[in-house]
Every structure is written in structure tokens, then in C-alpha cells.
Amino acid sequence: MSSLLTSFQRLGQLVDQPRVAGRVVVGLLAVHTSLLMYSAYVHSPTLNEPGHLVAGLSHWKFGRFELYRVNPPLVRMAAALPVMAVGYESDWSGFYEGPGARPVFDMGKDFVAANGTRTFFLTMIARWACIPFSWLGAVVCYLWGRDLYGRTAGLIACLIWCFEPNILAHASLITADAHATALGLAACYTFWRWLKTPTWAQAALTGVVLGLAELAKTTLILFYPLWPMLWLAYRWQDRATMTPHTWGREAGMLVLRMAIGLYVVNLGYGFDESFMRLKEFHFVSKLFTGEAPPDSETREPKHEFTNRFASTWLADLPVPFPKNYLLGIDTQQKDFESYGRPSYLRGEWRDRGWWHYYLYAGLIKVPLGLLTLGGACILLSLWGVHPAPARDSLLLLTPAIVVLCVVSSKTGFSEHFRYVLPAFPYAFIWISGVITAYGSRIFERKLDKSNQAARIEGNAVSRADTCVGSVVSTGLLVWLSSSSLWIYPHSLSYFNESIGGPLNGAEHLLGSSVDWGQDLRYVYWDACSIDASSRLSVGRLGSLRTPGLFRCPCHQTPAPLEAQAGQYCSVYYIHGGGWDPWCSSNASQLRELLEQQESALNRKRVSYTVVYPLLQSNSK
């Protein structure tokens, strides 16, 4: 036991050296980058990615921001840069505009049709262009963990970021979830640094990073009301030494930070229709429209777009955001109010979502090694292990709690676990701090100092506990990494061992949590391995169904689905999902059809999401 503890202590001393820690971070980033690059290569475009890419290209080409307005443009504009450099075929004929208009999905299909199999290459390089955002997330995990808990904690937080499967899944895509998570973390880290050293330069830097985070995802607008409250809470224990001049100075810095953040957001949109008067907006969500007055003659409710602020004193107020930024929030809110298709959880479909959806999804989508570490850290905190001042822990964990609560409160639909991804890295850092504090014996048992024998016995027990804690923590980190890598590159379909892994994932969640269309390339490779000239049917894959993606002959299967040769179907449809009513009503038919084909030759899983060949033959 003693020699094992000594080994852990020496390892801790080694990685605590700045040069060694820097090399470890570089090594982790190299591995992380390799994993992301291969995943970006091997997976086909997901359901939303062509739309994101088309929108990014349109921003650069036309200087307009209507397409995909529900998300700010920063990430997709970065993704579009290499695509513009190598060239692409465009088709802008599907564009139209109006209140709540969302033509981008059909335009994404037009882009795939225009570029054919080259879409794979264009999507891959667009994904690669977004990898630096994930570098930022890993580096900030290290820096914040190092500054708050020590270098060892920083390295553990960085390791968790680099191998956590949900981060790996979404950091290899064009969609903004993981990239906004990194930028949001960077914004909060610079805010914490400002609280430690409140200078005007640090306040300006924090404002710039805040603006960039807001340009990645509108969820992060929560920082605007949250940061002033955190500032007051953080300074409360210093109130006895804070003079009115100090309070005023820091409040001025806070205002400067918010102003710079707003400026960066407007700059990102090219000041496109910024500072419009509030009454000039045409909203579509109930939150912003209110209730339309009934018709004066029929007294029936009017079905028209309204603006609840148009007849109030707020009507002439200039809105300090670009027009499409606010309209994007409005359109997203409408989705939460009335999504248009049902939500799914544990085999149940219903018209609205569940408040506990993200909590349940976290229990089965997050590696058990990480969940166990988190649970142990909660117990250690209750036991008295506090590796940092309470106000620092409060500032670290509050953004994660707020994001989880706000997203969980949106019960209009429940489909995308990725919505809570911005809460992840704060938990990574806190967990790394608690386990490092316990492993390095920062926590000491309170013993009666007058009893020497009790002190000696207590130290021995503490030494044994520390060794066991170090071994267990290391084992859980290894479990986390190996569990993630075992499923890789299918990280988007990752489910932990509590439900039997990704093979059973669709029994619990659907949508982007398991099948987002990322495995179409595996379908093509499987079909070609059977017969390169075989006719490939991709009629029920739950994602892009564009024949131009495949070199072999390809067609869409009309409903009703029949057991014809060479046909593939995704778990999304097998469990009743889909955009048309036929899919839901015939889900049981699909499952019965698959159950009839039990032999290894006639029923074979192509990938975790997906995708079964209902019948295999060489018919053309």
C-alpha cells in the first residue's frame, strides 16, 4: 500500500511540473484531434449539417442571415471557409422568407443533390475547420482546473473533455453544440479571472469572449442576467472591505463587458438590421406574440402574426441585437411551444416532452465511470472535502445548473440530449478538483491533538484511504476512456453499460441521441460488400435520403414498406419515428418483419444506430 501511494505521489509531482503538464496537454490534444478527424471522415452528413453548411455559405456570399437563424452564425461561418476555398456547386432556388420561415432543410438537400458524392468531402473539411473550437474547450478545462485546484486537476479535466463520448460526437460535427460549449466555458473562465483580478483590460477581454460565445448559441444569452448576480454573490463576503468607489468601479467594468459583448454580436452579423424598434418585428411564438384580439365581427380568434409589444410603451425601444438574432430566439421558442411531431422516451411517444428527460438521458448517455466519479465527489463534498473556496465552487457550478434547469423547463418537446452539452465542462472541472484534493490528502481528519496515539492511527487510516481513493479514481478515469473508445467512432450513438450499451439505446432515446443519419456511409459500404452493383434502397433511414450521395444505383422506397431485397431501415423508424404518419402506424410491422429474419445471413446490424438489411440478395 505504501509503495503504491508513493508511486501516485511521484506521478503527481511529475505532472505538476509546468513543462511536463504542457506536454501532456499537447499529447491529449493530438489524440483528441485524431479521433475527431477520423470521425469527421467516416460519418455521413447528419440531418442538420447540410443546412448549417448552406447557411454558412450564404452568410459569406450574400451577407444575409435569415438561413438557420435559430442558431447564431459563428460556427457555420467557420465551417464554410474551407468549402469556399475548394469550391462547391450551389442551388439557391429553394430560398424564401417570411415569419417563421425555415427553408434551410430543403436547401440542404438541394446542396447534397448538386454536389453528389463530393458532399462527403465537403462535409469532412467543414468539420475539420471546427476542431479548433474543441481545442479551446480542452485547454480552458486545463487552465481553470489548474488555476483553481492545481495542475493535476487541470490535466484530469482536460482528459475528460478529450475522451468523453458526447464531446467527441458533437465536436466532430458542424452543428454548434460542442463548439458553443467550449466558447461558453471560455467566457465564464475569463469572467472568473476578472473576479480574481478586476482590471479594465480583463473586463474588455471577457466582453469579447462573451460576444463570441453569444455568436455560437443563443442559449448562452443566459450569461447576461446571470453574471451580475454571480458578481454580487461573489463579492458579498468582501462587502466589509468594499468601498463605494470599488463597487462603482466594478459595476462600470460589468457594464463595459456587456456593451463589448453586444458589440461583438452585432459585428458578427455585420450590424444587419441592428437596433430595430421593437414594434417592427413580426413574431411567431406565443411568448412574443401574446394573444391576438378576436375579430370584431365574428368574435373568432385571429390566426395572424402579432407583436405583443406593439401597443405598449416598449414599442419604440431599439433592440440592441441584430434582427435575425431575436427572430431566431422567437422561432426556437415556437418549436418548444408547438414542435409538430411527438417526443420519445423509453418506448413512449407523446405530444409534449418530459421535465426529467435530460436527467434520465444523462444517466444512460454519460459513461458510468464519470457518473460514479461525480457521485463520489458529491459524497466527498458532503463529508467535508472542499478543494476551493465556496464562492469559487458556486461560480463554477452555477452555469451548469442554470443551463440544465432552463433546458429541462422547455417541455414542448424532448428529443436532443445535446442541448445540455454546455453544462458538461463545469462538472468536469469540479470533479477533477474534488478527486485531486482527496487523492493528495488536502482533506485531513480532525483528530484530538492531545492524543498522540489517535493521531498516528488516524494518519495511517488517512494514508490508506488516500491510496484507495487514488486507485479507484484512476480506475474510473480509465473506465471512462476505455468505454468511450470501445464504441468509437460511433460516439453519437454512445450509451453506457447500465442499459447494455448502444445496442439497446433506441429502446430509450431516439433523434440526435442515437440516429441522426450519421451512418449512411456504413450502409453504402455494406451494400457494396454484398455486391458492388446491387440496388440500394435507402427509403427508411431517418435522415438524408438523397440518391446523389451514393455511387451505386439507389432509390427511395415508397410506403408501405415491403421486404424487398437489399433494403435498409434505421432504428428510428423501427421504433415508430419519422416525418410521415405511415412510419408511426407501421412500427410494429417493421419489428415483426425483422423478428422473422433471425439468421445471421439475413439479419445483420450495419452500425449501432441503424441500420438493418431486411433481406440480402444479389438482385439488381
Q: What is the pLDDT of residues 68-78, one digit of tens each?
A: 999 999 999 99
CA neighbor of 392 nearest in space, from 429, 356, 366, 358: 429
CA atoms of 38 and 161, how far apart (whole Å): 17
Q: Report, as an integer, the average pLDDT of 590-601.
A: 48
Asked if residue 76 is part of any domain, the answer here is yes
pLDDT value of residue 447: 37
Q: Please report where in the chains the cell 466519479 appears, as a residue.
A: 373
pLDDT value of residue 585: 41
CA atoms of 277 and 159, how far apart (whole Å): 47
Q: Are 541 and 520 in contact (CB under 8 A)?
A: yes
Range of the domain at 428: 1-272+346-433
Beta bridge partners of 277: 318
pLDDT tens readout for residues 133-165: 999 999 999 999 999 998 989 999 999 999 999
In 412-512, at which residue ranges do the beta strands (DSSP E only) sit? none
- How far does CA 33 lie from the centroid of its chain? 17
**Residue 509 DSSP class:** -
**Per-residue confidence band for 291, with pLDDT thresholds at 50, 70 and 90:** low
Q: Does residue 619 carry a pLDDT above 50?
A: no
Least confident of 90-99, 120-129, 334-343: 334-343
Written as one string, the DSSP assignment of 280-324 is G----SHHHH-PPPPPTTT-PPP-S---TTTTSTTTTPBPSS-HH
Q: Does residue 543 carry a pLDDT above 60?
A: no
pLDDT value of residue 542: 40
Among residues of the chain, what percentage have pLDDT more than 90?
Answer: 53
Q: Is the peptide bond between 489 and the residue preceding it cis, with omega within 30 degrees of 0?
A: yes
Least confident of 175-179, 222-226, 316-320, 570-574: 570-574
Q: Are 86 and 74 in contact (CB under 8 A)?
A: no
Asked if residue 169 is part of any domain, the answer here is yes
Q: CA separation (Å) from 356 to 361, 363, 406?
A: 8, 11, 12
CA atoms of 199 and 291, how far apart (whole Å): 47
Asked if residue 320 is part of any domain, the answer here is no
pTM, two decimals, is: 0.87
CA atoms of 413 and 511, how far apart (whole Å): 12
The values of phi and psi at residue 564, to 5°, are -105, 160
CA neighbor of 402 nearest in space, from 257, 147, 225, 233: 225
C-alpha grid cell for residue 92?
439557391
Burial grade of 98 (CB within 10 A; 0-12, 13-18, 19 or more) = exposed
Residues 6+ apart with CB under 8 A from 38: 489
Q: Report, as an integer, the average pLDDT of 34-61.
A: 94
Asked if residue 310 is part of any domain, the answer here is no
- How far does CA 387 lie from the centroid of its chain? 28
Asked if residue 570 is part of any domain, the answer here is no
Asked if residue 118 is part of any domain, the answer here is yes
Residues 6+ apart with CB under 8 A from 6: none
pLDDT value of residue 230: 95
pLDDT value of residue 4: 52
Task: Name which residue leads in pLDDT, 279 or 12.
Answer: 279
pLDDT value of residue 451: 44
Q: Please report where in the chains the cell 405598449 appears, as a residue.
A: 312
- How far does CA 345 lie from the centroid of its chain? 19
Mean pLDDT for all residues in the chain: 81
Q: Does residue 454 carry a pLDDT above 70?
A: no
pLDDT value of residue 341: 77
Q: Does residue 301 carry a pLDDT above 80?
A: no
The values of phi and psi at residue 311, to 5°, are -110, 20
CA atoms of 353 and 361, how far apart (whole Å): 13
Least confident of 234-243, 341-350, 435-444, 591-600: 591-600
Beta bridge partners of 569: 540, 612
pLDDT value of residue 448: 40
Q: Does residue 305 carry a pLDDT above 60?
A: no
Q: Are 415 and 511 in contact (CB under 8 A)?
A: yes
pLDDT value of residue 298: 53
Q: CA separation (Å) from 454 to 317, 438, 445, 461, 566?
A: 70, 21, 11, 10, 74
The values of phi and psi at residue 539, to 5°, are -70, -25
Asked if residue 64 is part of any domain, the answer here is yes
CA neighbor of 550 nearest in space, from 528, 568, 572, 575: 528
pLDDT value of residue 290: 75
Asked if residue 582 is part of any domain, the answer here is no
Instruction: Domain count for the chain, please give it.
Output: 1
pLDDT tens readout for residues 460-516: 434 444 555 567 778 889 999 999 999 999 999 999 999 999 988 888 998 889 888
